[in-house]
Amino acid sequence: MSSLFGFVASYVVNAVWEVALIAAVAWLTSRLLRRLGPQAEHAVWVAALAMSVVTPALPALRNSLDLVTASRTGGGGAAIIFVPGGGGLAARRGVFALSTFWMWCLLACYAATLIYFAVRLVLKFISAVGMLPSASPVRFTPEQEDIWRSCACAFELKGAQVLACAKARGPVALGLRKPILLVPPNFASICTQQDFLAAVAHECAHLKRRDFQKNLTYEVTSLLLAFHPLIRVIQAGIAQTREIICDGMVTEEHLDAGSYARSLLRLAAAMAVGSRDSDSYAVGIFDGNVLEKRVMRIRMKKQYAGAAMRFGLTTSAATILLSAVVGAAAVAVPIRQQARSQDSAQSSRYGHVYKVGHGVSAPVPLNRVAANYPKAVREKHEKLEGIVVLGLVVDAKGMPQDIHVVKSFRSDFDTQAVKAAKQYRFSPAMLSGKPVAVSIKMQVNFKWY
């Protein structure tokens, strides 16, 4: 349980700053790729969402660095550990020791937030799918029927249906298995032929791209980070660039940019579209709340980017995003329960016996006693050389205890190594400014001179 507890706590704490970093990098990268079109910007925001979810769950890189540095410096680098009972902020080597009570509070808040947004997601999905049972076939004029069939054919929507639903506030794309377009019952009567074409073509673009399924996937993916306000920025970037992509699909095949932009404005006025938080995950023509920005992009002259520029910009963007992920993972702060020795006898004699690292400094030898070469071997002039590895506990007073052989060379050499180790004295290991007992290993070298 403690390892899972530490993982969740580490995920939440690191996500607070890592998501902010990734959102900022994604915004800058999307600006860099604007010349390549909305598809490139959309890919950046989708990648940012994936990185935001995955990066806080990558403490492995940080842990690997800790293992390397701990063996050399005796420290665990920046870390947060949770210990039974009270804990305080340690002023040693950037290490924080907190009580399990506060960690459980963090976990409880995260669980409550996760449940809230999970229930909210389910209710919105039910709201979207719940529109289908009340939907009925819609009556179009012959001209509108031709427009619908032409758009469905142009976007290769086999088996697509268009239905009328009183719950739909505008044209929306639905359907998990087969494409479905829902429109308000009076939609056909309030639209001119051109406006009808603009709305239907835009929603067919959504159906072609399977945006309803993608939108649902993005919402489920971001559920782990739903507590973070900047995850909304990333989701907004996905929604906005998605709408601009669909606008481009319409203007490339069905309507010129000026006519399409005017149709969007008339449709927005007819349906009284304003800034809103959708109560379902159905994908509509005015999602993203960026109508003005879309109209500007539609009317903007497209910029040409050669192959060399596309390669350079894409490579630069990928490098920036990857660097952000690697950098964030490398400096992530690990959170875990302080490891103890599994030897219960040691725990009873010395209190908790810790491992070096993650907030526990290594004991420093105050005197080093050389191990004597065995007398019998010296007298025989046997030129034997080897290494004995000892395991021991350095208690809170700096005294070596429970010395035992981990890797033997020869019994007489082992005896001399243990005898030398008993004479060592240490400056004790420290945790949160207090001396503690630690389990360590030491190496004794024997050389013939």
Q: What is the largest CA-CA distance in the chain?
A: 113
CATH number for the region 339-446 comes to 3.30.2420.10
Domain locations in the chain as residue ranges: 2-129+307-336, 136-221+241-284, 339-446
Look at residue 92 in the predicted model and tell me its pLDDT: 41
Cα separation of 94 and 408, whole Å?
38
Task: Count other C-beta atoms under 10 Å from residue 75's C-beta.
Answer: 22
Residue type, 284: G
392 by Cβ neighbours in 10 Å (0-12 / 13-18 / 19+) ranks as buried
CATH fold of the domain at 136-221+241-284 = Zincin-like (3.30.2010)
Q: How confident is the model over 220-225, as a mean pLDDT?
A: 94
Residue type, position 422, single letter = K
Taken in order 343, 349, 352, 357, the sign of the CA dihedral is negative
pLDDT given at position 359: 82
Residue with the bigger pLDDT between 189 and 63: it is 189
**Residue closest to 62 by CA, chosen among 143, 7, 100, 133:** 7
Fold matches, 136-221+241-284 and 339-446: no
| Model pLDDT for residues 124-162, shown as the tens digit of each residue | 888 888 888 888 888 888 898 998 899 989 888 888 888
Decide: 164 and 182 in contact? Cβ < 8 Å.
Answer: yes
Highest mean pLDDT among 25-39, 272-286, 302-316: 25-39
Residue-wise pLDDT for 359-392, tens only, equals 889 999 998 888 888 888 877 777 788 899 999 9
DSSP letters for 34-95: GGG-HHHHHHHHHHHHHHHHHGGG-HHHHHHHHHHHHHHHS---SEEEEESS---B--STTE
Query: b/e map of 7-36 (b: 16 or more CB within 10 Å)?
Result: bbbbbbbbbeebbebbbebbbebbebbeeb
Beta bridge pairs of residue 360: 357, 431
CA dihedral of residues 422, 428, 429, 430 (deg, nearest 10)? 170
For residue range 313-328, list pLDDT tens digits in order. 899 999 999 998 888 8
- Helical H segments across 138-256, by residue range: 142-154, 187-190, 193-209, 211-221, 230-253
User: What average pLDDT does the segment 195-217 reach?
Assistant: 90
Beta-carbon contacts of 147 under 8 Å, excluding residues fewer than 6 positions away, are 193, 196, 197, 200
Strands 172-174 and 180-183 turn out to be antiparallel
pTM exceeding the 0.85 threshold for the entire prediction: no
Going by DSSP bridges, is the β-strand pair 79-83/335-337 parallel, antiparallel, or unpaired?
parallel
- Going from the C-alpha of 430 to that of each of 68, 71, 97, 277, 363, the distances in angstroms are 19, 16, 12, 53, 8
**Does 297 score more than 80 pLDDT?**
no
Phi, psi angles (nearest 5°) of residue 16: -55, -45
Asked if residue 61 has pLDDT above 60, the reply is: no
With residue 117 as reference, give the H or E element that holds it: helix 100-129
